[in-house]
Each structure stands twice: as C-alpha cells, then as structure tokens.
C-alpha cells in the first residue's frame, strides 16, 4: 500500500522540484558535450567505416601533440590567462629541432658538416628556448600586470620575427627544412609494442601533469592564484613565482610539442605552428578549463582534445569542405565560452 503521507512530506520538502533543477543544471553544464556527441553520432551514421581500429589509432596519434600543447596553455588559462604566442613557440621549437636533426648526406643541410647529434640535445635546446620566452611572458604578466592577451600577442609577433631570422640564416637560405635523421622520424611515426610512440609520449606527459597539478605545492598554488590572486597572496603564495613557473611549464610543453611535430610532419618552416594556439585553447575550453580561473582538470583537457580531433577527423572523413569545418569549430568555441560564463555567473 502506498504511503501517501510520506509522499506529501517529500513534495513539501521540494525534492521533486529539486530533481527538475538538477536535470536542468546537468544539461546546462554538459550541453557542449551533448552537442559534440550528437555530431560524432551523426558522423558515424553517415560513415559507418569511421568506426574502426585504424581510424581510432589515427585519432589518438593526431591528438597526442595537440594534447601536449593543450596541457601547456591549460595551466595559463587556470591562472585566468591565455597564450597567443603558443603557435610561434611551437614553430620555433620545430625549426630548431629540424635544423639540428638532418641526415648528414642531405644536400640542403642547415648546418653543413655538423654531423649527427644525440636526439635529446635538440629537444633540450628547443625546450630551453621556449621556456625562456614563456617565462618572460609570465614575468611581464605578473610583474607589470599587463593583460595576458596583450603580453602574449606582443611575444607572438616578436617570436615570429626572431624565428624568421633564424629560419633564413641556414646555409640553403629560407626553405623548408627536411631530410630528417631516420632516428628522429622514427621517434614520432614509429610504434612500440603496437602503440604509436606519440601516444606513449602524450600518456607519460599526462601522468606527469596530473601529478604536478594535484599532488604538489606548485599545483595547489596554481589553482589558488587562478581562483583569487589577492587571497592567494595574503595566504603566503608567491604570485609572481607561481605565474612564472606556470608559464615556464607551458614553455616545456611547447618545446616538446614542436620537437615532435617537426618529426611527425617531416619538415619545418617559419609558418609551422601557425594557428595551433587556437586549437589548444579551444580544446581546453570545451574540456571545462575555465577562463574564470582556478577551475580545470587533466581529464577535461584530454576530453576536449579528443573531441575536437574526432570532429575534425570525422568531418574530413566525410569530405566536408574545410570552410564549413571552420564555421562549426567557431560555433562550438563560442558556445563553450558562453556556457562557461553562464555557469560562472550562476555560481557567483
């Protein structure tokens, strides 16, 4: 027998209406994921061959470098910032790596007679260069309180100039740098036990970033500064040091990403990396890393990158015109930012 008195008590407590609100909040908080999943389902229905092991492996491979770059800018977004110089940093790292890792018998050597270098040396050089420029970004933002958009835009332009000078300084002049060392190429396009090396790189870095964000003082300070810089300062957090460290970590990610990207595509020039910052920032926003500051997870960055890669790969798989792909991506980005802002205002 139904206990009508008990039901009346539950209704008076507002439990039923609360359930409706929870559903509403769920759809608002996950609207962008629902839309993206709907697009993915549409692609699968349209092209059933999209669901295959080969396609899945290609998506993971294409996502790997993007994920590494996304981790770099994600920390900056958590600090309520952004980094428009990401693409040029990646390009600089790619050109440096490619110029130092050409085959000795290649006819258009950037550095004639240099010989083979250990693979780790060009990577370290690329990382150091990217860290220097990223650290400058962080210092300028924290010390002089310049908006990250303006600070990193200035660095983007500066980097492009320096990169172009370096690119043109090689023995053959300003031409794409190819003829990579076989070891270098294999590092990016090869596999280990059937798993693409790029996926292994991305997986290891994902674990490292998770530990840094969640199990270290650095991570706690990063979230504190992102959530409320003034409160963090009063609590004893060195805001300047934390900001420079977060930007420097981003530089490490850009250096590694550029190093791997040059090997993946087989060449590098002063245009390499153009627009990469937009994809990385968009993936972070879609993954729930908020420009409001202090909010973001490693899993969110991974989800955002994977979803964007699946959509891009799927639309290309369907033969969709690139212009329509740009339109769809743009709409998704704006929608993600709008929903993020709405959630933030509601909590405030």
Q: Is residue 187 part of a domain?
A: yes
Give tens-digit pLDDT for 284-334: 988 889 888 899 999 999 999 998 888 888 888 888 888 888 888 788 778
What's the rounded Cα separation, in Å, for the pair 138 and 167?
26
Q: Is residue 113 part of a domain?
A: yes
Q: Which domain holds residue 306?
A: 54-347
Predicted pLDDT of residue 346: 57
Q: Would strands 191-192 and 195-196 be described as parallel, antiparallel, or unpaired? A: antiparallel
In degrees, rounded to 5, the angle at the alpha carbon of residue 174 between the alpha carbons of residues 170 and 176 is 95
Q: What is the pTM of this model?
A: 0.88
Predicted pLDDT of residue 345: 56
Q: Is residue 45 part of a domain?
A: no
Are the beta carbons of 303 and 206 closer than 8 angstroms? no
Q: Is residue 306 part of a domain?
A: yes
Give tens-digit pLDDT for 126-176: 999 999 999 999 999 999 999 999 999 999 999 999 999 999 999 999 999
Are the beta carbons of 283 and 161 closer than 8 angstroms? no
Are the beta carbons of 75 and 250 closer than 8 angstroms? yes
- Sort 158 into a burial class: Cβ within 10 Å, 0-12 / 13-18 / 19+: middle
Query: Comparing C-alpha atoms, which of 146, 82, 79, 149 is closest to residue 293?
Result: 79
Split at pLDDT 50, 70, 90, the class of 123 is very high
Q: Is residue 6 part of a domain?
A: no
Across the range 69-77, mean pLDDT stands at 97
Q: Is residue 199 part of a domain?
A: yes
Q: Is residue 319 part of a domain?
A: yes
The dihedral formed by the CA atoms of 180, 182, 188 and 192, expressed in degrees to the nearest 10: 180
Q: 115: part of which helix (H) or strand (E)?
A: none
For position 70, which CATH number holds? Answer: 1.10.3470
CA distances from 94 to 79, 89, 200 (A): 27, 9, 20
Across the range 244-262, mean pLDDT stands at 98
The structural domain count of the chain equals 1
CA distances from 144 to 11, 109, 134 (A): 56, 42, 15
Q: Is residue 34 part of a domain?
A: no
What's the rounded Cα separation, in Å, for the pair 243 and 255?
18
What's the rounded Cα separation, in Å, for the pair 315 and 147?
36
Give tens-digit pLDDT for 8-66: 544 444 444 456 767 766 766 666 677 778 888 888 888 888 888 888 889 999 999 99
What's the rounded Cα separation, in Å, for the pair 13 and 219?
40
Are the beta carbons of 244 and 132 closer than 8 angstroms? no
């Amino acid at each position: 027998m139904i206990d009508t008195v008990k039901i009346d008590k539950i209704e008076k407590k507002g439990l039923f209406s609360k359930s409706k609100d929870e559903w509403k909040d769920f759809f608002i908080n996950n609207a962008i994921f629902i839309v993206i999943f709907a697009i993915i389902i549409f692609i699968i229905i349209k092209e059933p061959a999209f669901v295959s092991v080969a396609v899945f492996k290609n998506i993971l491979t294409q996502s790997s470098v993007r994920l590494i770059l996304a981790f770099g800018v994600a920390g900056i977004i958590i600090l309520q910032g952004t980094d428009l110089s990401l693409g040029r940093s990646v390009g600089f790292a790619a050109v440096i790596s490619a110029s130092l890792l050409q085959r000795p018998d290649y006819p258009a050597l950037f550095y004639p007679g240099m010989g083979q270098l250990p693979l780790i040396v060009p990577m370290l050089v690329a990382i150091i260069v990217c860290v220097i420029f990223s650290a400058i970004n962080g210092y300028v933002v924290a010390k002089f309180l310049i908006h990250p958009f303006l600070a990193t835009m200035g660095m983007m332009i500066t980097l492009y100039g320096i990169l172009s000078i370096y690119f043109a300084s090689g023995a053959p002049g300003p031409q794409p740098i190819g003829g990579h060392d076989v070891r270098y190429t294999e590092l990016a396009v090869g596999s280990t036990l059937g798993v693409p090396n790029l996926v292994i790189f991305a997986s290891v870095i994902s674990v490292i970033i998770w530990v840094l964000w969640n199990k270290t003082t650095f991570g706690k300070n990063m979230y504190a500064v992102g959530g409320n810089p003034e409160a963090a300062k009063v609590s004893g957090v060195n805001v300047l040091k934390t900001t420079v460290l977060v930007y420097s970590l981003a530089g490490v990610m850009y250096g590694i990403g550029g190093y791997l990207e040059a090997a993946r595509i087989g060449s590098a020039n002063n245009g390499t990396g153009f627009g990469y910052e937009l994809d990385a920032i968009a993936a972070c926003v879609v993954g729930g890393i908020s420009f409001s500051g202090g909010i973001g997870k490693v899993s969110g960055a991974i989800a955002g990158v994977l979803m964007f890669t699946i959509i891009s790969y799927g639309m290309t798989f369907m033969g969709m015109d690139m212009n329509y792909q740009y339109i769809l991506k743009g709409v998704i980005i704006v929608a993600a930012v709008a929903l993020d802002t709405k959630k933030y205002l509601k909590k405030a």
